[in-house]
Structure 1
């Protein structure tokens, strides 16, 4: 029995062994492997169509040098969407509600874009820290502000994904608890609350997909500035 609503965000364990590794690796089991045949089944065709369309949208603002990241960004987006969607099922755990995991995704990928920019075009990369036409007295202040905003980017990526998923899960838990409490007391109100819960669940499904797409889209925009 949960002693707190926030217990649902605690990493599950078995015999004092954290099971978050299984929760992270399990989604890949659900995807079918492409067959060597000329014609695939509907599920594989739908999966390939979704990946291709999403990758085209992500790569559209990038030049040819950034297209090398297509496989990495597409895999990350599919991975995040799957984890977020599976976390909406009963008796499951959503690893992306852990800030440490999201920062583990955000920091290395953001740092890779910065290193690529510093290596390939250091003048342009450093030029982002000082907008053109800045008055001389404001140059030190703007450099400090732009540097802080640059280092805040991975934190914003991780916190955005964590906060949106945590808030949605917590709200679903609160409304579901209200339904069970109101059902024997006020059945009509409980039914109305259950309807709100159903609509909120649909909204959370959309949020789970959109947040994964936004996470990868922002990474592609950061990459765009450095390639």
Structure 2
């Protein structure tokens, strides 16, 4: 039973070709490019949403780091669409794979660190040792802060993977229970189905929130190094 539950997170393969690559292209196909001079309603909504996201993301960041706004906006849009993709029937969620999340977390974390070392090395290295630290605590504190710095990308990837995996597993369990109870206890099955619908709405919110949190943490790391 446990193997059947976790089989939904294995990478699907068709004719020897991993379908993960096709799933990664879905956000590009879902977005509507602006190809006309006069904007339509969908393009207007997209533009308004992007401006709102940029304002929320870049508000705590220093002005020199605002050049990363388009990159971070693209990342958040990409993650939101991938997370929501997994809520559709007979689909695969690439962001439940730790390898993909780490492949996104490590380069962006490294971007913030290298940007800080290049533009503000004193400020970036100063986070490893707060002012007023007693002399005897300096070596262990530097070691702890260094370990904390290198754990950040792991925390980014694991957080996104764990939240999406837990939600999908819970939906799988509740849907299986509703299917089994349909012939045995129809009333309980209806209540279980209603619970599944509410959980699906909750998972839609979680999919968007987790993408926002992922990018927000990157912007906070960028703020520390700018």
TM-score range (shorter-chain normalised) is over 0.9
* Aligned residue number for residue 68 of structure 1: 67
* Aligned residue number for residue 147 of structure 1: 146
TM-score (norm 1): 0.97
Q: CA deviation at 1:36?
A: 3.2
* Aligned residue number for residue 126 of structure 2: 127
* Aligned residue number for residue 51 of structure 2: 52
Matched, 1:116 2:115: yes
Q: Report 1:20-99 matches (<5 A).
A: 20-37=20-37, 39-99=38-98
* Aligned residue number for residue 225 of structure 2: 226
* Aligned residue number for residue 216 of structure 2: 217
Deviations 1:171-217 (A, max 9, x none): 00000000000010001111111111111000000000000000000
Q: CA deviation at 1:123?
A: 1.3
CA RMSD of aligned residues (A): 1.1
Q: CA deviation at 1:124?
A: 1.2
**Number of residue pairs the alignment of both structures matches:** 225
Q: 2-side partners of 1:210 and 1:179: how far apart?
A: 27
Deviations 1:36-83 (A, max 9, x none): 32x311111111111110111001111221110011000000000001
**4+ long deviations beyond 2 Å:** none
Deviations 1:122-143 (A, max 9, x none): 1111110011111111111111
Deviations 1:76-110 (A, max 9, x none): 00000001111100000000000000000000110
* Aligned residue number for residue 191 of structure 2: 192
Range with greater deviation from structure 2 (13-22 or 199-208): 13-22
Matched, 1:176 2:175: yes
Q: CA deviation at 1:3?
A: 5.6
Q: 1-side partners of 2:126 and 2:8: how far apart?
A: 45
Q: 2-side partners of 1:155 and 1:201: how far apart?
A: 27
* Aligned residue number for residue 16 of structure 1: 16
Deviations 1:112-163 (A, max 9, x none): 1101111112111111001111111111111111001000000000000000
Q: 2-side partners of 1:46 and 1:213: how far apart?
A: 18
Unaligned runs of 5+ in 2: none
TM-score (norm 2): 0.97
